[in-house]
C-alpha cells in the first residue's frame, strides 16, 4: 500500500511579528521616526559617554559663547555647554515621559477593565471621575497637581500621570465592552474561570493594540508638558539639565541676541514630540485590522 504525502504549497508559516515588520517598514515616515526615537533612547542611556563636557561645569572663559568647534551648540550665561546639557536633558525627558505615561497607563488599564467588564456602579463611578479630569485642560490639571504637591521631578511625573489616566481608562473600557460580548468570553465563563483570569488573560490582550498606539503618542505629549512645567518654574531645580529649564534660561537672553540657548533645546523638544507622534500614527496604521489592507 502506497501512502502519498501532500506538501502544502502555501510556503512557510508567517509569524505576527514578521507581518508587523513588513507592514511597518513600508511606511518611510515610520522608519524615520522609529530610528529617531531609538537614537533618542540610546542618547539617554549613554549620555555620560556621549556628552563632550560635564553639564554642570562652567567654562568661565566662554560665557554665552556662540556655537563653535569647541562648543558645537554654544554655552549659556554660566559657561555650561549647551550640547552636553541637551544630551543629559534627553535622559531626564525620556525618564519623565516613559515613567509618567506608564503609571497613567497601569491605573487607566485597571480602571477601564473594571468599568467595562462589571458595569453598573463601578462603571458610573470610574467614568464620572474620568469626566471630572477631562473637564480640566491637561496643562492646567498638571499645574494644579504640582501646586498641591510642590515642585520637583517626581511631582512632575505624578502630575503628568494623572491627566493620562482618563484617556487610557476610556480606551480600555470601550474595547472591554466589545470583547466581553464575544462567544469565547462566554465559553471561558462556562468553564468556571475566575474574573481575574478572564480580565487579564482574555480581555486585556484584545485592548493592547489601542493602548500601545496611545502610549507611544502620549510620551511625546508628556515630554512637552514636563518641559512646559519646567519653563514656568514648576519643574526640577533650575540648574538641572532638563530641556524646559534650558529653554527658560535662554528666554531672557534672546533679547540680547544670544539665540542658541533657546533655539537648540526648543528644537530638541520639537523633534522628540514630532517623532513620537509620527511613530504612534505608524503603529496605529500597522496594528489596526481595518487599515492592514
Domain that holds residue 149: 29-47+81-288
Are the CB atoms for 146 and 138 separated by under 8 Å? no
In a domain, 195, yes or no: yes
In a domain, 58, yes or no: no
Angle between helices 28-45 and 260-287 (to 10 degrees): 130
In a domain, 9, yes or no: no
In a domain, 55, yes or no: no
User: pLDDT (tens digit, 9 = 90+) per residue, 122-157?
Assistant: 889 999 988 888 888 878 888 888 888 888 888 888
In a domain, 211, yes or no: yes
Are the CB atoms for 53 and 81 separated by under 8 Å? yes
CATH number at residue 278: 1.10.3720.10
Distance CA 113, CA 292 (A): 26
Averaged in consecutive runs of 10 residues, what is the pLDDT profile of the chain (293 residues)? 47 59 73 90 92 87 84 86 92 91 93 89 89 83 85 86 89 88 81 82 84 88 89 84 87 76 90 91 70 49
All three cell numbers of 42: 540610546
In a domain, 236, yes or no: yes
Grid look-up 533612547 returns: 41
* pLDDT for 169: 92
* pLDDT for 19: 64
Question: For the chain, what is the domain count?
Answer: 1
In a domain, 75, yes or no: no
In a domain, 273, yes or no: yes
* pLDDT for 1: 44
Amino acid at each position: 500500500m502506497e501512502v502519498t504525502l501532500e506538501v502544502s504549497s502555501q510556503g512557510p508559516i508567517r509569524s505576527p511579528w514578521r507581518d508587523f515588520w513588513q507592514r511597518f517598514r513600508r511606511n518611510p515616515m515610520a522608519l524615520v521616526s522609529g530610528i529617531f526615537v531609538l537614537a533618542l533612547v540610546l542618547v539617554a542611556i549613554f549620555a555620560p559617554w556621549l556628552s563632550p563636557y560635564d553639564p554642570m561645569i562652567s567654562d568661565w572663559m566662554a560665557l554665552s559663547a556662540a556655537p563653535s568647534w569647541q562648543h558645537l551648540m554654544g554655552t549659556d550665561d554660566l559657561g555650561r555647554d549647551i550640547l552636553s546639557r541637551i544630551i543629559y536633558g534627553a535622559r531626564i525627558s525620556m525618564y519623565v515621559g516613559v515613567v509618567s505615561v506608564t503609571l497613567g497607563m497601569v491605573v487607566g488599564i485597571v480602571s477601564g477593565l473594571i468599568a467595562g467588564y462589571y458595569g453598573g456602579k463601578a462603571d458610573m463611578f470610574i467614568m464620572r471621575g474620568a469626566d471630572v479630569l477631562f473637564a480640566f485642560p491637561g496643562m492646567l490639571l498638571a499645574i494644579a497637581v504640582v501646586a498641591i504637591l510642590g515642585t520637583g521631578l517626581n511631582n512632575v511625573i505624578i502630575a503628568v500621570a494623572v491627566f493620562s489616566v482618563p484617556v487610557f481608562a476610556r480606551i480600555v473600557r470601550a474595547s472591554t465592552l466589545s470583547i466581553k460580548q464575544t462567544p469565547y468570553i462566554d465559553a471561558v465563563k462556562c468553564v468556571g474561570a475566575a474574573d481575574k483570569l478572564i480580565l487579564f488573560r482574555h480581555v486585556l490582550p484584545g485592548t493592547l493594540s489601542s493602548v500601545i498606539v496611545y502610549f507611544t503618542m502620549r510620551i511625546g505629549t508628556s515630554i512637552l508638558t514636563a518641559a512646559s512645567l519646567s519653563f514656568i518654574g514648576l519643574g526640577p531645580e533650575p540648574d538641572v539639565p532638563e530641556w524646559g529649564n534650558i529653554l527658560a534660561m535662554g528666554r531672557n537672553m534672546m533679547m540680547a541676541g544670544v539665540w542658541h540657548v533657546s533655539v537648540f533645546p526648543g528644537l530638541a523638544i520639537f523633534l522628540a514630540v514630532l517623532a513620537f507622534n509620527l511613530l504612534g500614527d505608524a503603529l496605529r496604521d500597522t496594528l489596526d485590522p481595518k487599515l492592514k489592507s
